[in-house]
Structure 1
Amino acid sequence: MSIESMRIIMNGLIERLHPQLPGSALGDVLDQLIYLVDDNGSDLIQVCREWVRSSDFRRVDAALSLSEAFLFNTRNELETELRAVAEKWPELAPKATKILSDWDQVNPS
């Protein structure tokens, strides 16, 4: 499967998500997909990175709901991206703070 195939699949999931549900409703599905796909979720994580950087609140919310992997490889990169999200959408700031806290627990200085 290619990154483009994963992008099509994930865009289809978010576009078909019931309109009354938040993007975060896809969190468990995305977490499961990490373990089910042949690349251990690397393409899925790349698409989630794209979503975090997008201007689509629902996609950002879905990407931040991923709990089985960190979207970025360093704390600095993670913090930079999450700070931008929290500034744009303050309602997502608690999620951003939780993700950084989780990083610090897994990767103590």
Structure 2
Amino acid sequence: MNVAEMSRIMDSLYEHRAPALPSHALADNFDRMIWCLDDQGAALLQVREDWLISGDRGRVEVALDMEETFPFSDSQKMNDVLGQISARWPELSAKCRSIQEARASGESR
């Protein structure tokens, strides 16, 4: 599956989610999908990174709530993006900091 196909799937699931569905519930489904896909979730993880830089707060929250892997293979890129998210939405800074601290301490995700 390519990134464009996965983007359409994830966007559709996001747009048609139940109105009161918390971001972590959709994120949990995306985390599970990683292990079900023949590309080991590569396209899904790319869409997650796209969502993190998208400027769409709802998609950013879902992407931040994914827990199977750290976003971005490069930790500096991750820190830069999470720093931008924290600056734009200070109420998301605790979640960003938690992800950064887990990666820095060598915790697996």
TM-score with structure 2 setting the length: 0.91
Q: Take 1:101 and 1:55, find their aligned partners in 2: how far apart are those partners?
A: 23
Unaligned stretches of 5+ in structure 1?
none
Q: Take 2:43 and 2:52, find their aligned partners in 1: how far apart are those partners?
A: 14
RMSD (Å) for aligned C-alpha atoms: 1.2
Mapping 1:49-68, distance limit 5 Å: 49-68=49-68
Any conservation in 2 of the 1:23–1:61 contact (CA below 8 Å)?
yes
- Counting matched residue pairs gives 107
Q: Take 2:14 and 2:60, find their aligned partners in 1: how far apart are those partners?
A: 11
- TM-fit CA distance, 1:26: 1.1
Q: Take 2:38 and 2:105, find their aligned partners in 1: how far apart are those partners?
A: 28
- The equivalent of 1:69 in structure 2 is 69
- The equivalent of 2:3 in structure 1 is 3
- TM-fit CA distance, 1:105: 2.3
- The equivalent of 1:35 in structure 2 is 35
Letter in 2 for 1:34: I
Q: Take 2:64 and 2:58, find their aligned partners in 1: how far apart are those partners?
A: 10
1:26-67 Cα shifts (integer Å, max 9, x gaps): 121011011011111110110011100112111000001111
Structure 1 runs of 4+ aligned residues shifted over 6 Å read: none
Q: Take 2:49 and 2:32, find their aligned partners in 1: how far apart are those partners?
A: 17
1:59-89 Cα shifts (integer Å, max 9, x gaps): 0000011111111112211110000001111
Unaligned stretches of 5+ in structure 2?
none
